[in-house]
Amino acid sequence: MNAPFLAGAPRIGAERPPLTLLIAAPRGFCAGVDRAIEIVERALERYGPPVYVRHEIVHNRTVVDGLKAKGAVFVEELDEVPDGAPVIFSAHGVPKSIPETASARGLAWLDATCPLVSKVHRRAERQIQAGRHIVFVGHRGHPEVIGTFGQVPEGTITLIETVAEVAALPFAAEAPLAYLTQTTLSVDDTAEIVAALRARFPGIVGPRAEDICYATSNRQAAVKAIAPRCQLVLVIGSPNSSNSLRLVEVAERCGTPSRLIQNAAEIAPDWLTGVATLGLTAGASAPERLVRQVVERVAELRSVAEEHVVTAEEKMVFKLPRQLVD
């Protein structure tokens, strides 16, 4: 009787067809994600479990599950946090009302908001103080958008997602306006939207560069470098990770099919049919161990030759909150 085998997997003794695997760099964790995870881990060491975290600390199930195993408890709202327990706010940022409520309850809280997101928050406050209405480019419902809107009075900021929405804005051409952007957007899409804003509102004020963070820009540039050489690009990331979804879009705009996967187990063998060169990258919330697991899975199916394509070097490091620094 023949031994059982996985459907689509090579039989024992069969030669695996060759595959060039282009691994993009930079990829995976950025400085903001590193900082957020370290805040939770240090808080667990300092206070002992449980430590509460409002919303996913970063958008990655593997990371969240790993922190749960160490004693982190993830909640949606502050009323789920017991009195006296430490609570951490996610890397995406929160409205001002959240730390105010935590302080009013006497909770010990730590802010894991990415410093680049916090910079957008401060810019929003300054524009309102200067008497300008803010046009914010971002994705409806994303935690970063909700957090930024919560920094300024209601009615002083308007969200748009597309170039088409620029034409529908109810402001005169000479109105005192400013624009800001979510940090995890498509670089190309955002440039088009900003160009449309400047064309319609010549006096609109914006930052010297869009607020898209260095890590998002670098990861998109790395995908642009590998995608034209590939027949398929795999992006490791969560479905609710904005920056990961943008990497899929970037690859597809290069004319290369792309798939978002959360882990190696999701790879179907038939995806590699007709693929001589495979691209691989990871969103800013995906740990490197997931990348290596994907490489190992692909190597079970094909004879892999790895090539690392480096388009930038990242050395950014962000300081921890003073409460966690000895």
User: In which region does residue 121 sit, left (phi positive, over 0), alpha (psi from -120 to 50) or beta (all else)?
Assistant: alpha
Give residue for tokens 């690859």: 251
> What is the number of helices (H) and of strands (E) in the chain?
10, 12
Give residue for tokens 């966690």: 324
144 in catalytic set: yes
Give me the phi and psi of 63, to 5 degrees please: -65, -45
Shortest CA distance to 179 belongs to which of 203, 214, 151, 150?
203
Measured CA to CA, the distance from residue 187 to residue 295 in angstroms comes to: 28
Contact 134, 179 (CB under 8 A): yes
In the beta sheet, which residues pair with residue 158? 135
**One-letter amino acid for residue 96 of the chain:** K
Neighbours of 96 (CB within 10 A): 13
Shortest CA distance to 279 belongs to which of 265, 295, 301, 263?
295
Contact 194, 166 (CB under 8 A): no
Check 38, 41, 77, 144 and give the catalytic one: 144
The length of the chain is: 326
Strands 232-236, 72-75: parallel, antiparallel or unpaired by DSSP? unpaired
Q: Which residues are catalytic?
A: 144
